[in-house]
Amino acid sequence: MPFFEFFSNLSSLLSQSLLNTLDNDEYYDIAIEVGNDPDVKIFRAHMVILSCRSPYLRRILLANKRKSEDENLTHIKLPNILPEIFEIILRYIYGGKLALENNDTSNVIKVLIAVNELGLQELVPLLQSFLINSNVNWMEQNFNLVFKTSFENDSFPELQKYCVKLLSKNPDKTFKLLNLSSISEKYLISLIRHENFKISVVKIWKHIIKWGISRNSEIPSDITKFSKEDFNVLKDTLKDCVSFIKFTNLSPKEFLDNVLPYREVLPEELYIDLLKYFLNNDYKPTDFKRIKRYCLNNFDSKIITIKHIELISKWIDKLEITDRMKNLYEFNLILRGSRDGFTSENFHEICDNKFRTITVIKVKDSKEILGGYNPIEWKTEFCFGHSKDSFIFSFINKDDYILSRVQNEKQAINYYSRYGPSFGNGDLVIYGGYEHSFENYANYCKKLSYEKQIRQSADKFSIEDYEVFQIKKFSFNDNIHEIISDYSTLPTITRSYNSDDDDDEEWDLEKLI
């Protein structure tokens, strides 16, 4: 018998033995209450196996340790998962096999959502591929469910690509498959902003209008029957969506036929600017403050805000907090832990060879935000990167921060392959190992290669989420016309900007171009 076949047989025997242990309820020490009334089922399992296999269950089990030695069982509840779905997953946890052959495709989607919640990330790409390739007709017929599932979070990128591709390929047909009134504003904006969403602006505008009307049953579908109140309601419904529509990519005729009839839905300042744009070929905005705010608002983060971006930009240019901003920077998100994974492998696969990056880290069970600037590239080597411009920082709350610039330039960046984005010889270390997650309590900060200790505590901490941005200096000569072409977003963005500390700033765009 060939060795690999012999080894495979041994693995099968081990899997079957573990499944037998599960089925026989032998030596179990945990009871799991799954589902909600009236559909609830109790599963008996083994803490050591669940802890090894599921990061999510490991965290729950640590938080639900037995209160006394007299208690024989640990009890946990999983109300968000159906019992029949959890049974499929539990057998995978023990036996390494996912039995989906006799399940409806709708159940496969439920399994996908559940394994993502339980941290079984190895299954997420496989299940996405299975859904996309196994039942094309079902996916189209249930497109509304698939779309909502894919955009509920950033964990299912392949499903998102599938939805975007289908919508771009045949928007009129596919939008009809969507129940527009059930799609949240968040999902709709995510779709509009998706980098692969390729349909004409006029079609996007038409579907946005349909979506707004579908959200308000009292508004008639015929615009000729609109009252002033109907326009006001629709305007309020669309106020956030409008800022993401590139009206200046419309032809004059498209603007006249499709946008002008809804002029009362548009913010007044936007409407006036669009009229100037379409009626005067020489018209261009000259307000640098708006362009500044465009750059600051046009970033995607779940951890930091515009004020953080302004402060970090000043630190990059080595300015004081009271100084005016010297340069504008584009912050382009390249990695998010909750979307791309929390292992050192995930980090190096995405970020290696990327220059000029800002990392921000949300500390678990805390208001702390940690981070650092790496002006040189990331690598997977057992060595340090040299830099005189790197820095690390922490935000204790919205007003208090610590900035720590590098002192030992030869130990500025830590490239160790088992680390995530790490700085100094221990000043900010994100440790995952080859198989472990940054969500474990193995990360730490110690003052060694940088000026200051950025955490009050030297204790190890866990990461709730983290993001890596690649930054690029905004060039007015190269990008001003691109900004002008997107200028339709600026008035709305200007009004949504809440910074009060620069309202009296005067910027002269002509001197900067």
Q: In the block, which residue shows the tokens 């955490």?
A: 455
Is it the case that residue 151 has pLDDT exceeding 50?
Answer: yes
Residue 368 pLDDT grade (very low, low, confident, very high; cuts 50, 70, 90): very high
9 or 49: which leads in pLDDT: 49
pLDDT at 370: 97
| 3-state class (DSSP) for residue 45 | strand
Band the pLDDT of 195: cuts 50, 70, 90: low
Tokens read off for 178: 């969507």
Structure token pair of residue 164? 């975007």
For residue 74, what are the contacts with CB-CB under 8 A and spacing of at least 6?
29, 30, 31, 47, 61, 64, 65, 66
Domain regions of the chain by residue span = 14-122, 329-473
Confidence tier at 491 by pLDDT (50, 70, 90) = very low
- Residues forming beta bridges with residue 401, ordered by sequence position: 395
The second-level CATH assignment, the architecture, of 14-122 is 2-Layer Sandwich (3.30)
Average pLDDT value over all residues in the chain: 81
Whether residue 507 is predicted with pLDDT greater than 50 in this model: the reply is: no
22: left (phi over 0), alpha (psi -120 to 50) or beta: alpha
C-alpha dihedral over 373, 309, 274, 190, to 10 degrees?
A: 80
pLDDT at 408 over 70: yes
Rounded average pLDDT over 68-91 = 82
Which of 2-11, 78-87, 350-359, 445-454 shows the lowest mean pLDDT across its residues? 2-11
- 239/150 Cα distance (integer angstroms): 24
Span 256-265, pLDDT tens digits: 999 999 999 9
| Cα 414–chain centre separation | 26
Tell me which residue of 180, 181, 143, 184 sits closest to 164, measured CA to CA: 143
Our measurement of the distance from residue 368's CA atom to the centroid of its chain's CA atoms, rounded to an integer in Å, reads 19
Mean pLDDT of 428-445: 82
Give the Cα-Cα-Cα angle 409, 415, 420 (nearest 5 degrees).
Answer: 120
Residue 277 · residue 248 · CB < 8 Å: yes
User: pLDDT class for 42, splitting at 50, 70, 90?
Assistant: very high
Give the pLDDT score at 509: 32
Supply φ then ψ for residue 489, to 5 degrees.
-85, -20
Question: Residue 381 has what pLDDT?
Answer: 84
Looking at the chain, the whole-number percentage of residues with pLDDT higher than 90 is 38
Per-residue pLDDT, 513? 30
Strand partners, 393: 371, 403
Mean pLDDT of 429-441: 78
Whether pLDDT at 96 is above 90 = no
Nearest residue to 39 (alpha-carbon basis) of 85, 108, 96: 85
User: If we measure between CA atoms, which residue out of 482, 352, 513 comes closest to residue 419?
Assistant: 352
CA distance 103 to 87: 13
- H/E stretch holding 60 reads helix 55-63
Give the C-alpha separation, 225 to 233, whole Å. Answer: 14
Q: Output the pLDDT for position 230.
A: 95
C-alpha to C-alpha distance for 49 and 53, rounded to whole angstroms: 6
